């Protein structure tokens, strides 16, 4: 492809990649009448009151970051009463929010309401699967519903604004926060980001059951070196544009009201002081009208990063580079007024930040009724409402991925004579709630054991044996030694139970607190005695079904090799046990697909299907000089997009409507999917393309579409994917989104390992 040919195509420049994912236009944040009301307010506000709007404090109710100074409660009270605090996070419950809001609205001169934020990540009281698990459903309606219910509960409890969704693409399972996102792929990640924003914000932010979304963490937080949390991200412009930014951009187009910057240094600048990211790209090129909040204490952390000399300097840099609200650094509240007074920060920059925050407050309806989200009676009625729990069960079973089912051991007959349920995780009512569990009641999840007991017939005997603990001591101690139990005293009972049983269900995996913020690990295997327990139990009874509970892709080692059945059940939330039992006993036919590759060994991390080909992709003359490892394969153990069903599906080779298309034409890719097995089930049909030659190297495959199709036994359906040059565009070295003419391969399959491509050409004209 020549440079001039590419230029010809530039006329097709896409305003928006993933445009097809954008939903019907949400109510805009900016309208003339509101802007006028904001003008009026700004004209009345003192500099101190303006700065106050930019100041956010955390309540002690739930601390989600380091607290270097003990807060002076009286001073905080005064700051709220005098309009010098615009926002608070971590305030628990409708009654508390009402009290604080009252102080701000009735106490302060201009009666400006506060905005209350909280991390509602996968549910408020009713807990849904952790976001990575939910992404495995590839079911956008289910994901929207889960966010909708989370918003309904949170909004009933006084929350105006959730710090979610996390839309960071993550390709390194060592990073504990991989559990909070949608996995490794920018296309799937964008679709899910949009689905979550739609769910949280609903059609109208003013509604008392809507909360403002916050896209986080902007940007490249998932690319920390060596998978270590808060670590430096050093990535190319191409990766930034083509992989990291798309979910943010898609969700902003869908109306996300706010963005949180990330903690990390990216290319030499901490994100919170990154002018290009915040001002040029987000507020400039993307015309984002909402506001940016720093992450917890991140403005202060620019000192540790070594780019500001003191807190005053940090405040100056952050505001100038586009950060609007300061979470927990008190940098703005202490220094911004004087920075404006001496001209270090233009008053117009301060006004712009205030305007953006007020816009979101207006959009949330807070100026009409600041108490619209704090009604304790509603809160009581809605938290853990039966219909919410029913939805949580359904979303949970949709999130389960069947990785292996040798000899069709599953589904089980509920009338089995005797089942042994083994493993500490199987009896634990806390782990399924996962990390970032909002206001879940402790130990409130349905355990796997409870789920199985509720599912079997009256004559089935269910024996339970713990085997060995996964976590010892204080589960919040966050030390690796917690996972290194040496106590085998429970093995005997476990083996005895296994021997007597027709079938064993063995739960293995991670405690809830092993993943999440600050929980990066260099060993992502089954810790402690879990491999040993598996060996003992499966020797006693080879009909051992392994149910995995985890928040990240794990290295499974011998368990994956030897277990006849592997069910990936993540941390599935309040109804986990029922959802898993639904799958084990065939009430629900599993349909989940992995949103992130499962490595064979941790040394493969980061690992993802959309890698580059390299100059030495194949063995050549059989010697060592090609891109590979000498001690393991390049491929993951389980690839992105993979997951089995109790039925089988046949996918025809893709048929193309043309062998070449022009830049304004649409190619139809059609494939026929047939349920060739004995049961009804759902298959996720996935479309991938490969751009064979580009101005820069291109991934060996990129997801470009998917459909989840339900089919009865014997039923066939045609799946049609339209492809336009918009779908083939990428951020090229010329700094624009454009499709480059040339040859493309198309793959249709049921995982990213689908092969047998067909080829077409994109013409320049």
The contact set with ligand BGC (CB under 6 A) reads 64-65, 89, 119, 163, 216, 295-296, 517
Q: Considering the complex, what minimum distance in angstroms separates the CB of residue 550 from ligand BGC?
A: 20
Query: What number of CA atoms fall less than 13 Å from residue 381's CA on the CB side?
Result: 8
Q: Which is nearer to ligand BGC, 466 or 517 (CB)?
A: 517
Q: Considering the complex, what minimum distance in angstroms separates the CB of residue 175 from ligand BGC?
A: 12
Phi and psi angles of residue 3, each rounded to the nearest 5 degrees, phi first = -65, -40
Q: Which is nearer to ligand BGC, 478 or 629 (CB)?
A: 478
Phi and psi angles of residue 704, each rounded to the nearest 5 degrees, phi first = -125, -5
- The SS3 assignment for 577 reads helix
**Segment (H or E) for 331:** helix 331-341
The closest of 533, 451, 447 to 494, measured between CA atoms, is 533
CA dist., res. 78 & res. 55, Å (int)? 14
Please state whether 158 falls in left (phi above 0), alpha (psi between -120 and 50) or beta. left
| Residue corresponding to tokens 């309540």 | 59
Q: Considering the complex, what minimum distance in angstroms separates the CB of residue 552 from ligand BGC?
A: 17
Q: Which is nearer to ligand BGC, 209 or 517 (CB)?
A: 517
CA dist., res. 109 & res. 107, Å (int)? 7
Residue 723 in tokens:
């492809």
User: b vs e for 729-765, b when ≥16 Cβ sit within 10 Å of the residue's Cβ?
Assistant: bbbbeeebbbbbbbebbbbbbbbbbbeebeebbbbbe
**Residues in CB range of 327: below 8 A, 6 or more apart:** 56, 58, 89, 260, 293, 294, 295, 296, 297, 298
**H helical segments located in 369-485:** 376-382, 386-399, 424-427, 448-455
The closest of 398, 399, 400, 404 to 544, measured between CA atoms, is 404
CB 385 within 8 A of CB 126: yes
Q: Considering the complex, what minimum distance in angstroms separates the CB of residue 214 from ligand BGC?
A: 7
Q: Which is nearer to ligand BGC, 296 or 534 (CB)?
A: 296
CA dist., res. 661 & res. 591, Å (int)? 34
Residue 112 in tokens:
């400006």
The closest of 167, 172, 214, 199 to 186, measured between CA atoms, is 167
CA dist., res. 645 & res. 660, Å (int)? 36
Q: Considering the complex, what minimum distance in angstroms separates the CB of residue 759 from ligand BGC?
A: 43
Q: Considering the complex, what minimum distance in angstroms separates the CB of residue 729 from ligand BGC?
A: 31
Q: Considering the complex, what minimum distance in angstroms separates the CB of residue 177 from ligand BGC?
A: 8
295 in active site: yes
Q: Considering the complex, what minimum distance in angstroms separates the CB of residue 320 from ligand BGC?
A: 23
**Residues in CB range of 284: below 8 A, 6 or more apart:** none
Q: Which is nearer to ligand BGC, 296 or 609 (CB)?
A: 296
The closest of 368, 336, 297, 333 to 78, measured between CA atoms, is 333
| Residue corresponding to tokens 């100038």 | 320
- The SS3 assignment for 443 reads coil
Residue 356 in tokens:
């953006």
Q: Considering the complex, what minimum distance in angstroms separates the CB of residue 119 from ligand BGC?
A: 5
CB 557 within 8 A of CB 526: yes
CA dist., res. 319 & res. 93, Å (int)? 31
Question: How many CB atoms are located within 10 Å of the residue 693 CB?
Answer: 12
DSSP collapsed to 3 states, 572-636: CCCCHHHHHHHHHCCCCCCCCCCCCCECCCHHHCCCCCCCECCCCCCCCCCCCCCCCCCCCCCCC
Q: Which is nearer to ligand BGC, 85 or 349 (CB)?
A: 85
**Residues in CB range of 252: below 8 A, 6 or more apart:** 215, 259, 282, 286, 288
- CA-based R_g, the chain, Å: 26
Q: Which is nearer to ligand BGC, 213 or 501 (CB)?
A: 213
Q: Considering the complex, what minimum distance in angstroms separates the CB of residue 181 from ligand BGC?
A: 11
Q: Which is nearer to ligand BGC, 177 or 388 (CB)?
A: 177
CA dist., res. 151 & res. 203, Å (int)? 12
Residue nearest to ligand BGC (CB): 64
Residue 399 in tokens:
């999130």
Q: Considering the complex, what minimum distance in angstroms separates the CB of residue 602 from ligand BGC?
A: 24
CB 90 within 8 A of CB 62: yes
Q: Which is nearer to ligand BGC, 113 or 181 (CB)?
A: 181
- The SS3 assignment for 480 reads helix
Active-site residue identified among 185, 295, 375, 430 = 295
Q: Which is nearer to ligand BGC, 185 or 295 (CB)?
A: 295
- The SS3 assignment for 326 reads strand
Q: At CA 320, angle to CA 316 and CA 322, rounded to 5? A: 125
CA dist., res. 311 & res. 466, Å (int)? 51
The closest of 679, 217, 174 to 405, measured between CA atoms, is 679
Q: Which is nearer to ligand BGC, 163 or 218 (CB)?
A: 163
Q: Considering the complex, what minimum distance in angstroms separates the CB of residue 118 from ligand BGC?
A: 8
Q: Which is nearer to ligand BGC, 258 or 751 (CB)?
A: 258
Q: Considering the complex, what minimum distance in angstroms separates the CB of residue 89 from ligand BGC?
A: 6
Q: At CA 425, angle to CA 424 and CA 430, rounded to 5? A: 115
The closest of 500, 501, 495 to 540, measured between CA atoms, is 495
Q: Which is nearer to ligand BGC, 178 or 389 (CB)?
A: 178
Catalytic residues: 295
């Amino acid at each position: 492809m020549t440079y001039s040919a590419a230029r010809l195509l530039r006329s097709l420049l896409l305003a928006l990649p993933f445009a097809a994912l954008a939903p019907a236009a949400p109510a805009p944040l900016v309208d003339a009448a509101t802007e006028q009301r904001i003008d009026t307010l700004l004209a009345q506000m003192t500099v101190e009151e303006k700065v106050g709007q930019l100041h956010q404090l955390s309540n002690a109710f739930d601390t989600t970051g380091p607290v270097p100074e003990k807060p002076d409660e009286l001073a905080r009270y005064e700051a709220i009463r005098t309009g010098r605090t615009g926002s608070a996070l971590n305030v628990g419950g409708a009654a508390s929010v009402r009290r604080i809001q009252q102080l701000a609205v009735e106490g302060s001169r201009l009666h400006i309401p506060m905005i209350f934020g909280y991390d509602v990540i996968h549910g408020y009281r009713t807990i849904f699967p952790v976001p990575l698990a939910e992404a495995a459903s590839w079911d956008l309606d289910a994901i929207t519903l889960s966010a909708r219910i989370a918003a309904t509960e949170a909004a009933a409890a006084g929350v105006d604004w959730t710090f979610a969704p996390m839309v960071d693409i993550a390709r390194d399972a060592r990073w504990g926060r991989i559990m909070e996102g949608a996995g490794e792929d920018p296309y799937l990640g964008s679709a899910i980001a949009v689905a979550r924003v739609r769910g949280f914000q609903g059609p109208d932010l003013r509604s008392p059951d809507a909360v403002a979304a916050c896209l986080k963490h902007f940007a490249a937080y998932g690319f920390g070196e060596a998978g270590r949390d808060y670590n430096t991200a050093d990535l190319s412009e191409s990766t930034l544009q083509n992989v990291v930014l798309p979910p943010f951009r898609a969700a902003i187009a869908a109306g996300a009201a706010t963005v949180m910057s990330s903690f990390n240094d990216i290319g030499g600048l901490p994100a919170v002081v990154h002018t290009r990211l915040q001002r040029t790209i987000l507020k400039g090129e993307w015309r984002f009208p909402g506001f940016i909040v720093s992450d917890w204490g991140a403005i202060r952390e620019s000192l540790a990063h070594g780019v500001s000399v003191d807190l005053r300097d940090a405040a100056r840099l952050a505001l100038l580079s586009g950060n609007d609200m300061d979470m927990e650094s008190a940098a703005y509240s202490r220094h911004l007024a004087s920075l404006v007074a001496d001209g270090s920060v233009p008053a117009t920059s301060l006004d712009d930040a205030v305007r953006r925050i007020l816009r979101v407050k207006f959009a949330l309806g807070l100026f009409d009724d600041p108490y619209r989200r704090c009604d304790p009676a509603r809160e009581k009625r809605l938290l853990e409402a039966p219909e919410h729990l029913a939805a949580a069960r359904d979303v949970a079973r949709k999130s389960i991925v069947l990785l292996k089912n040798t000899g069709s051991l599953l589904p089980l007959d509920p009338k089995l004579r005797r089942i042994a349920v083994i493993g500490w995780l199987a009896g634990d009512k806390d782990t399924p709630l996962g990390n970032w569990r909002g206001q879940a009641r402790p130990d409130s999840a349905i355990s796997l054991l409870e789920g199985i007991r509720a599912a079997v017939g009256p004559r089935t005997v269910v024996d339970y044996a713990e085997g060995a603990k996964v976590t010892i001591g204080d589960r919040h101690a966050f030390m690796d030694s917690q996972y290194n139990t040496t106590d085998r005293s429970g093995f005997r009972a476990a083996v005895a139970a296994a021997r007597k049983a027709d079938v064993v269900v063995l739960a293995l995996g991670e405690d809830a607190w092993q993943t999440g913020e600050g929980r990066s690990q260099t060993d992502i295997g089954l810790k402690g005695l879990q491999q040993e327990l598996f060996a003992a139990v499966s020797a006693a009874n080879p009909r051992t079904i392994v149910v995995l509970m985890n928040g990240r892709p794990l290295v499974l080692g011998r368990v994956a090799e030897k277990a006849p059945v592997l069910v990936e059940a993540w941390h599935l939330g309040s109804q986990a046990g029922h959802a898993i039992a639904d799958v084990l006993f065939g009430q629900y036919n599993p349909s989940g697909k992995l949103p992130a590759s499962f490595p064979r060994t941790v040394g493969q991390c980061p690992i993802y299907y959309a890698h580059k080909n390299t100059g030495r992709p194949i063995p050549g003359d059989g010697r060592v000089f090609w891109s590979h490892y000498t001690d393991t394969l390049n491929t993951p153990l389980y690839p992105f997009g993979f997951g089995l069903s109790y039925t089988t599906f046949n996918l025809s080779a893709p048929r193309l409507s043309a062998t070449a298309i022009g830049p304004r034409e649409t190619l139809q890719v059609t494939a026929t999917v047939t349920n060739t097995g004995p049961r009804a089930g759902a298959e996720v049909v996935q479309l991938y393309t490969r751009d064979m030659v580009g101005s820069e190297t291109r991934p060996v495959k990129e997801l470009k579409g998917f459909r989840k199709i339900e089919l009865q036994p014997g039923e066939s359906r045609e799946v049609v994917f339209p492809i336009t040059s918009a779908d083939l565009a990428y951020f090229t070295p010329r700094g624009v989104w454009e499709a480059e003419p040339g040859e493309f391969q198309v793959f249709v399959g049921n995982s990213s390992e689908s092969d047998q491509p067909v080829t077409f050409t994109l013409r320049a004209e």
